[in-house]
Amino acid sequence: MKEGKLVKFNLQQLQNGHVAPFKLSKLLDPEASWDKDQLGDVLHWIRQVVALVCGLLWGAIPFVGAIWIVLLFHCTAMALADAMHLCHISFGYSFLSLEIIGQGFLVLSSGIIYGYYAIILKIDEEDFGGHGTLLQEGLFASLTLFLLAWILVYSLAHF
């Protein structure tokens, strides 16, 4: 199955000489073939949206304390995500569990990205440079955007 997707990905480039135009329906299609750049861009923007939403929420509630940033329980969260992937548990449940256990923006956003490409898109990470490459797409920009949104909403809404 995964070999088929890899061949399809390369043949498309060789035959067309360019990548097929991006369609929104591709975002939820596990059978779609992905170009490395397209997938990287999608993961980048998902991270930015998650960062903005988290920052606005964290600031509005407000959540206070550095624990909401740090990579606490990271290993636990990632191990849980791996176990869920093996058991084919739905994305919604893994999101909820990561949120409860992780309680940190970095864990949450990494968990969402991992859940998206591993469970919804069913991507073989080896074709795209491994988990590290996919998980670090847009990471620093999303962290700064999250901090910016969190600080701004907190400062303006609560003082």
Q: Is residue 16 involved in binding another protein (CB under 8 A)?
A: no
Q: Of the two residues 70 and 89, which places its CB atom closer to another protein in the complex?
A: 70
Q: For 31, how many CA atoms within 13 A lie in the half-sphere containing its CB?
A: 0
Query: What is the SS3 assignment for 72-114?
Result: CCHHHHHHHHHHHHHHCCCHHHHHHHHHHHHCCHHHHHHHHHH
Cα 92 from Cα 63, distance rounded (Å): 23
Q: Is residue 117 involved in binding another protein (CB under 8 A)?
A: no
Applying CB under 8 A, the site for another protein has a residue count of: 37
Which residues lie near another protein (CB under 8 A)?
6-7, 10, 13-14, 36-37, 40-41, 44-45, 48, 58-59, 62-66, 68-69, 127, 138, 140-141, 144-145, 147-148, 150-152, 154-156, 158-159
